[in-house]
């Protein structure tokens, strides 16, 4: 990580307010098919760790998207709020959910082996395949 800061954000309708106390300044892009279907393109995210507060949690719906992760969204306006690793309780959140984008650096792309050929980013980034990500995060068993 290239450092962390506290970030404040909210959904489109304002029903859900987020405080991420240790949000990374590193931006990543996930090119997996599920993320692209979820948002219509790569998931541009920041790792917000586990110290996240959600005000308006009654307006959050959670979708159990895999054995090891879940996705949250506002049930009122549909804003994507998080991708959360179940076991670690670690939040990856859309970068533009937050009010400020100061000091952010786009430095990582994951599931690069699933990226379609019709787009590419100009930034030099660390690139990881789906197999590398599963080896890091998927529960063994």
What pLDDT is recorded for position 117? 96
Structural contact between residues 139 and 67, judged by C-beta atoms closer than 8 angstroms: yes
Give dist(CA 57, CA 48) in Å, integer: 17
Structural contact between residues 76 and 61, judged by C-beta atoms closer than 8 angstroms: no
Burial 62-83 (b: 16+ CB within 10 A, else e): eeeeeeebebbbbebeebbbbb
Residue 104 φ then ψ, to 5°: -90, 145
* Segment 53-62, tens digit of pLDDT: 999 999 999 9
Q: Which residue has the tokens 């692209």?
A: 36
Task: Report the percentage of the chain scoring pLDDT > 90.
Answer: 87
pTM of the model: 0.90
Q: Residue 86 is inside which H or E element, if any?
A: none
List domains and CATH numbers for the chain: 4-137 (3.90.1590.10)
Written as one string, the DSSP assignment of 108-129 is EEESGGG--TT----S--EEE-
Q: What is the mean pLDDT of residues 30-36?
A: 96
* Segment 1-30, tens digit of pLDDT: 468 899 999 999 999 999 999 999 999 999
* DSSP category for residue 104: -
What pLDDT is recorded for position 140? 63
* Segment 62-108, tens digit of pLDDT: 999 998 899 999 999 999 999 999 999 999 999 999 998 889 999 99
Q: Structure tokens of 84?
A: 């959360």
Q: What is the mean pLDDT of residues 32-44?
A: 95
pLDDT at 141 over 90: no
* DSSP category for residue 98: B
């Amino acid at each position: 990580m290239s450092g962390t800061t506290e970030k404040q954000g909210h959904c489109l309708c304002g029903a859900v307010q987020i405080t991420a106390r240790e949000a990374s300044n590193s931006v990543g892009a996930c090119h997996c098919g599920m993320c692209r279907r979820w948002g219509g393109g790569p998931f541009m995210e920041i790792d917000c760790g586990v110290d996240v507060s959600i005000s308006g949690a009654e307006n959050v719906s959670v979708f159990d998207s895999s054995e090891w992760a879940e996705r949250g969204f506002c049930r009122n306006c549909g804003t994507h709020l998080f991708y959360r690793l179940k076991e670690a309780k670690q939040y990856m959140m859309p970068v533009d959910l937050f009010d400020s984008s100061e000091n952010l650096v786009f430095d990582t792309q994951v599931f690069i082996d699933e990226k379609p050929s019709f787009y590419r980013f100009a930034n030099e980034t660390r690139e990881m395949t789906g197999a590398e990500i599963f080896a890091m995060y998927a529960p063994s068993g």
